[in-house]
């Protein structure tokens, strides 16, 4: 396999971000180009290496996964559902992002899990007009990072507005009383 041409552009199938084509790892069901996926990894590395940058880590993950929904398949359907549910709880119900992993486990309990269905994604043309990983990478300090993550999360949640009621219904079904 040859290296991509130096000026070749690889639009990300999730967010529409156009970056130079890269060979590299991709997630098996999150729909991101290798270049976009690498930049997401840079954000995660920063959050894990610097404790003061970690406060909204779960929001970072939920936002990226929601912005890169992948293809119509079981894992993508559940991933988008769970990440959108957590984003909604953070943005609309004041969920502490540190509780995200515990909430994710509760959301997928077989006895309460609703039937998650494919939600037609906003598409790269709509996502491409929104914030993305490159915007978040401009942060030079933890305060700017948090501000950008919050804006990015709200922006991505807004992109999914046609499905807000469905997502809220899934929250109510899978987390009764929360």
**For the whole model, what pTM was predicted?**
0.91
Query: Does residue 22 lie in a domain region?
Result: yes
CA 138, 142, 147, 150 torsion: positive or negative?
A: positive
Query: Does residue 1 lie in a domain region?
Result: no
Over 50: is that where the pLDDT of 85 sits?
A: yes
**pLDDT digit string, tens, across residues 88-130:** 999 999 999 999 999 988 888 888 788 999 999 986 666 656 8
Nearest to 11 by CA among 35, 30, 28: 35
- The domain tally of the chain equals 1
Q: Which of 2-11, 21-30, 58-67, 97-106 is least confident?
A: 2-11
Under 8 Å between Cβ of 65 and 30: yes
| pLDDT the model gives residue 66 | 96
Query: Does residue 2 lie in a domain region?
Result: no
Domain that holds residue 67: 9-174
Strands 18-20 vs 9-11: parallel, antiparallel or unpaired: antiparallel
Under 8 Å between Cβ of 71 and 26: no
């Amino acid at each position: 396999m040859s290296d991509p041409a130096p000026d070749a552009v690889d639009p990300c199938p999730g967010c529409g971000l156009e970056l130079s084509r890269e060979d590299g790892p991709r997630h098996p069901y999150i729909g991101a180009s290798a270049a976009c996926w690498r930049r997401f990894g840079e954000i995660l590395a920063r959050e894990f290496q610097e404790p003061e940058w970690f406060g909204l880590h779960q929001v970072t993950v939920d936002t990226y996964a929601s912005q890169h929904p992948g293809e119509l398949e079981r894992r993508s359907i559940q991933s988008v559902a769970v990440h959108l549910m957590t984003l909604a709880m953070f943005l609309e119900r004041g969920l502490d992002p540190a509780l995200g992993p515990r909430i994710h486990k509760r959301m997928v309990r077989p006895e309460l899990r609703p039937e998650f269905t494919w939600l037609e994604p906003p598409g790269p043309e709509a996502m491409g007009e929104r914030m993305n990983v490159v915007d978040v990478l401009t942060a030079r300090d933890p305060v700017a990072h948090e501000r950008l993550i919050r804006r990015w999360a709200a922006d991505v949640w807004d992109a999914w507005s046609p499905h807000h009621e469905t997502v809220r219904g899934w929250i109510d079904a899978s987390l009764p009383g929360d």
